[in-house]
Amino acid sequence: MILDEYKTISQKVGEGFYSEKRSKFLAFAHHVTSEDEIKSILQAYKKKYYDARHCCYAYMLGAERVNFRANDDGEPSSTAGKPILGQINSFELTDILIVVIRYFGGTKLGTSGLIVAYRSAAAAAIEASQIEVKLVEETITYTFAYPMMNQVMRIVKELQPRIVSQTFDNTCSITLAIRQSEAERLKNALHKLSFE
């Protein structure tokens, strides 16, 4: 079975907050699609919160959920980035960056206290976000002679792919996007037309 849908968050930034022993944790969840985008968002936070002690983050990219990173930014190893990434995983999200800014309150929280704080802040940011299910689509371009127009449109009507572009001339061309699990069916249906 092809897994052709994934969960991410909308473009609206989700904000979360957690505080413990006067330490403040500000969390922000962003919809992202590239590492360059992530870098520029992180730079903006480091600039905006230049007086904060730590700027920790985790991200997950791609429908396969194999491109990810967690960063503790000076906190004890695995007490910040990992708990943030853990929240991304427990909500099964991708194409997401969560940044947690920490203002130190003067009292050390210890490793378990830090893990709870970063996890809670990240969860609050996710809960303030709008989760969306998106489809992994495959794009298929089909070229055909004008007299075949009705047959092609019948397949489009039946399988409901999204029409990306179309040109109708002596030789016609149509580009369709369809969820990955249905792509083979669409290809086969169009392929059959060529031999009718």
Tokens of 69: 């990173």
- pLDDT for 134 equals 92
- pLDDT for 84 equals 98
Cβ-contact 92, 138 below 8 angstroms: no
Interacting residues of 31 by C-beta distance below 8 A, sequence separation 6+: 8, 9, 10, 11, 95, 96
Write down all domains in the chain, each with its CATH number in brackets. 5-134 (3.30.230.30), 136-192 (3.30.70.240)
- pLDDT for 170 equals 82
| Residues 102-146: tens digit of each pLDDT | 999 999 999 999 999 999 999 999 999 999 999 899 999 999 998
- pLDDT for 4 equals 83
Distance CA(118)–CA(67), nearest Å, equals 21
- pLDDT for 196 equals 65
- pLDDT for 62 equals 92
Tokens of 143: 């070229």
- Of 103, 108, 105, 139, which is closest to residue 26 (Cα–Cα)? 103
The residue ranges of the chain whose pLDDT is under 70 are 1-3, 196
- pLDDT for 195 equals 75
Find where tokens 């709008």 sit: 130
